[in-house]
């Protein structure tokens, strides 16, 4: 993941936090003019707020903005962001994110939706500014499916069994590093989605929640993907926007932490899998575990059981070990990134 853009002086810390707070305020409370004054160059396109890439470049101290046709690249030390006009795909340090709205233009400038800036780009670039992402020692592992629900199946195995095997392996790594692990299930037993949420929410200390799955979807589909809860106003992946999408869920309390956690897990597993990986991106969804769990949460899909090559990989111990190790490294890095909160230090 991109390293945190640590402002160079305490004055910069203060200014950075001040503008971010102003920026995240509800749109009804902040007029377009006020935002313009804060330097965000806010405009409305198709009913949504957009900010210019020039403003993003200034605020996050990118050193270079290069546009060639529809391709746009923002660069600074240790961070590269690649965008395409008309596309929702964004690469940050070569990890793929799926924006809620496509990148667009107005006049000669390129614009990104305000919700993608506030709910995705900002927490990824500045995880140390995430509020209420306190230090944690507990990891809740949710091996998807089980019992009467085998999940995806192929000739060699069931998703429920692979999910549990991955969870047990990751639990071992985490325990060895001193983390407390809460397993939603540690045997081939069925739990409803509501029961999983209830068990996770019975953990009262700071924790993170990771739901483990393998995918299905025809012989062509392949790759890993990581889901985090859609922020209010953003639909479930591939679905059209519904009125109920505007309502905040329990999981939305951690919107910023959710995307930061997804980023570090997705990027770290991709690196560990190396040439065996295919990046489907970090996506938004309204799965019930993501909506209901009160801890920062992600749902990880570790490859397609329906793809002939990936089916063999998933059954392979070293592939599972690479995923577990990638997640372990990610959890360590995430804990470090959010554990240095400039706001908390000021109290
Ligand atoms: Zn599943």
For 159-181, give the DSSP string: HHHHHHHHHHHHHHHHHHTT-EE
**Helices 317-338, 308-315: inter-axial angle, 10-degree rounding:** 80
Distance 240 CA to ligand 1 centre (A): 22
Which of residues 103, 125, 147 is at a domain's end?
125
CA 311 to ligand 1 center in whole angstroms: 14
Ligand 1 centre and the CA of 233: distance in Å?
25
Residue 132 belongs to some domain of the structure:
no
What is the Cα–Cα distance from 115 to 173, expressed in whole angstroms? Answer: 36
Pairing of strands 79-84, 89-92: antiparallel
Asked if the structure places residue 336 within a domain, the reply is yes
The answer to whether residues 81 and 194 belong to one domain is no
* pLDDT of res. 221: 95
Give the max Cα distance, the chain.
61
Q: What is the per-residue pLDDT across 25-72, written as a single tens digit (0 to 9) for each? A: 333 333 333 444 467 889 999 889 999 999 999 999 999 999 999 999
pLDDT at 62: 96
Residues in the chain, how many?
Answer: 347
Q: Which domain holds residue 61?
A: 10-125
Q: Report yes or no on 3 lying in a domain.
A: no
What pLDDT score was predicted for residue 38?
60
Using the mean position of ligand 1's atoms as its centre, give its distance from the Cα of residue 151 in Å: 5
Q: How far is the CA of 301 from the centre of ligand 1 (A)?
A: 8
263 Cα to the center of ligand 1, angstroms: 20
Domain boundary pick from 72, 94, 125: 125
- pTM for this model (two decimals): 0.83
If one counts every other C-beta atom within 10 angstroms of the C-beta of residue 174, the result is 21
Compute the distance between CA of residue 43 and CA of residue 12 in angstroms, rounded to an integer. Answer: 26
**CATH code (residue 33):** 3.30.457.10
* Residue 34 confidence (pLDDT): 41
What is the Å distance from ligand 1's center to 177 Cα? 27
Number of independent structural domains in the chain? 2
Q: Are residues 212 and 262 in the same domain?
A: yes
Euclidean distance between CA atoms 162 and 219, whole angstroms = 19
Is 106 among the domain residues? yes
CA of 122 to the centre of ligand 1 (A): 30
Asked if residue 149 belongs to a domain, the reply is yes
In this structure, the answer to whether residues 153 and 299 fall within a common structural domain is: yes
- List of the chain residues with pLDDT < 50: 1-37, 342-347
Structure tokens at 240: 């059209």
- Report yes or no: 101 and 88 within 8 Å, Cβ to Cβ: yes
β-pair partners for 298: 210
Residue 4 lies in a domain: no
């Amino acid at each position: 993941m991109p390293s945190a853009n640590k402002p160079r002086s305490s004055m910069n810390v203060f200014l950075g936090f001040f503008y971010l707070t102003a920026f995240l305020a509800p749109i009804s409370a902040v007029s377009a003019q006020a935002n313009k004054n804060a330097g965000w160059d806010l405009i409305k396109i198709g009913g949504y707020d957009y900010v210019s890439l020039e403003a993003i470049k200034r605020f996050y101290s990118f050193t270079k903005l290069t546009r060639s046709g529809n391709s746009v690249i923002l660069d600074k030390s240790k961070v590269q962001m690649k965008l395409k006009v008309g596309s929702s795909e964004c690469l940050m340090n070569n990890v793929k994110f799926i924006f809620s709205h496509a990148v667009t233009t107005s006049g000669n400038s390129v614009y990104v939706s305000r919700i993608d800036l506030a709910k995705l780009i900002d927490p990824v670039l500045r995880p140390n500014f995430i509020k209420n992402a306190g230090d944690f020692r507990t990891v809740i592992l949710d091996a998807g499916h089980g019992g009467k629900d085998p999940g995806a199946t192929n000739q060699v195995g069931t998703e429920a069994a692979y999910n549990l095997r991955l969870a047990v392996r990751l639990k071992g790594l985490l325990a060895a590093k001193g983390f407390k692990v809460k397993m939603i299930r540690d045997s081939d037993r069925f739990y409803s989605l509501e029961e999983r949420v209830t068990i996770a929410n019975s953990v009262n200390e700071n924790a993170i929640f990771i739901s483990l799955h393998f995918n299905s979807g025809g012989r062509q589909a392949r790759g890993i993907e990581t889901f985090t809860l859609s922020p209010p106003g953003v639909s479930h992946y591939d679905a059209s926007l519904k009125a109920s999408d505007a309502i905040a869920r329990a999981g939305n309390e951690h919107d910023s932490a959710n995307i930061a956690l997804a980023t570090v897990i997705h990027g770290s597993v991709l690196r560990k899998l190396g040439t065996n990986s295919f990046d489907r991106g970090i996506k938004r969804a309204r799965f019930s575990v993501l909506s209901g769990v009160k801890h920062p949460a992600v749902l990880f899909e570790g490859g397609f059981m329906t793809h002939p090559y990936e089916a063999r990989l998933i059954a392979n111990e070293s592939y599972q070990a690479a995923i577990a190790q990638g997640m372990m490294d990610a959890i360590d890095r995430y804990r470090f990134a959010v554990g240095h909160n400039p706001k908390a230090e000021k109290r």
